[in-house]
Chains A and B, each alone.
Chain A
Amino acid sequence: MPTEAEQVAAVLARAAGRHFGGPAAIEKLTRESGGASRQTWSFDAVVSGQRHGLILRRDPPVAGKIEGERSTSLDRATEFRVLAAAHRAGVRAPEPLFELLAADGLGEAYVMRRIGGTAIARKLLRDPPYAEARRLIAGQLGEILARIHATDRANLPPLGCRQAADHIAGLRRSLDLLGRPQPVFELALAWLDRRKPRPIAQPVLVHGDYRTGNYLADETGVTAILDWEGAHLGDPVEDLGWLCVKSWRFGAVDKPAGGFGSREELWRAYERAGGETVDAARAHWWEVFGTVRWGIICHNQAFRHLSGSIKSMELASIGRRAVETEVDLLQLLKSGS
């Protein structure tokens, strides 16, 4: 029996050969991320003496995917098309190169170019090589987000549209599934429901998980936006609010824009790059929403562990982090309305 890595390498050699048009040698194949379901592998393909640094994104064929995750995350084929459209719109994102075929037997999978940089928030926020980058990242994130939202919808695959009311209903469903009463989240959802922004007439491409930890950066700042599986159509301010949720500041609490700058710095850069003028009350609404959303995700992840669908100490312990978002919510509801 070949190991999983040997099987992946053999398939990649075949697929890279098809794409680049010549025999490909696969080198330095390593598994990057832990999860059994959504895998990321890094490798080099050497074709006619030329070395290509590549990334494989892969969902192995499995029986019984997790409900809920299935409904909100994109399958790999759709993610590939969203990434292609965003890349074509000039968004700093990895260039998607080719999809694997069903006959290749790796499940849903595609290959994109590898980009340098680190996604580790702790390093970006504190390590000396990133001192200059720290001054730039908030502005760069605003600028890149304006480009994402300007992605031509004609180039996008069919995507679900989620307006504010859909999001609220979704989170209430999640709370009901958890089966434990959550007064603070109920209070916040009722607050959100009463103040929700009107449905927007021209929904745009929303990244859906635009935050520190989900982009790569090096000494010059942001190099690539990653993790597109939450993409959908909706309100552009959703991404701006999510980026400012306190949990994504990783301790740099006085820098709301992902731990690197002020909200105003982020918004002005977004507007300068062609994004719509940011309404502060609307952005506050989406920040409160994002805080509820992350709190409920924490509970969901712990629930997935407890219900036995995925066993993981990390997932089991993340449920306790929901309390952090409850502290934040009580502050947010006090500070602005």
Chain B
Amino acid sequence: MAELLAAVADFLREEAVPALDRSHPGLGFQMRVAANSLAILEREARLGPDADRREHARLVSLLGRDGRLDDLNSELARQLRAGERDETDAALMAHLQATIADKIAIANPRWK
């Protein structure tokens, strides 16, 4: 699946965008957004499942209980809003750093 998505994204970026930029500049911009979105999906198909597994394992260890990924994140979000945990919690910060590192590697690996 990732290979097909990568092939389509490459085609759009290398062939369709330059052609549209010449003939329909407005559409060229839209096509750039489309190519970029496909590249995100390609990285998600390739990297997402492992990233989710790692996030889930860290949350189980951080919260001391098991559950669905969304439910564990809801509990963490609740604890943070209630002030039961904050940025002085080293295990929490390590978890968030690792989670966001995995997410940006999918959404936009060039962000710095």
Contact = CB atoms under 8 A, between A and B. Distances in A.
Contacts of A190: 80-81, 83, 86
A180 to B, nearest CB: 8
Interface residues of A, number: 25
A330 B97 contact: yes
Interface in B25-75: 30, 33-34, 36-37, 40, 70, 73-74
A253 interface: yes
A6 to B, nearest CB: 22
B107 A330 contact: no
Contacts, number: 74
Nearest to A316: B37
B87 A187 contact: yes
B13 interface: no
Contacts of B37: 313, 316-317, 320
A194 B106 CA distance: 32
Contacts of B103: 323, 326
A323 B108 contact: yes
A88 B84 CA distance: 50
Contact of B107 (A182, A314, A320): A320
A186 to B, nearest CB: 4
A321 B36 CA distance: 12
B87 A317 contact: no
B111 A327 contact: yes
A330 B96 contact: yes
Contact of B40 (A182, A320, A324, A327): A320
B22 interface: no
Interface in B78-109: 80-81, 83, 86-87, 92-93, 96-97, 99-100, 103-104, 106-108
B81 A317 contact: no
Nearest to B102: A323
Contacts of B74: 181
A190 B100 CA distance: 18
Nearest to A175: B77
A330 B104 CA distance: 13
Interface of A: 172, 180-184, 186-187, 189-191, 194, 253, 313-314, 316-317, 320-321, 323-324, 326-327, 330, 333
A181 B76 contact: yes
Nearest to B29: A314
Contacts of B111: 323-324, 327
Contacts of A317: 33, 36-37, 40
B100 A184 contact: yes
A172 B81 contact: yes
Nearest to B103: A323
Given A181-B70, A187-B87, A313-B34, A320 B100 contact: no
Contacts of B40: 317, 320
Given A190-B83, A313-B37, A181 B73 contact: yes
25 contacts: A181-B73, A181-B77, A183-B76, A183-B77, A186-B80, A186-B81, A187-B80, A190-B81, A191-B86, A194-B83, A317-B33, A317-B37, A320-B37, A320-B107, A321-B107, A321-B108, A323-B100, A323-B104, A323-B107, A323-B108, A324-B107, A326-B100, A326-B104, A327-B104, A333-B87
A83 B62 CA distance: 51
A191 B87 CA distance: 8
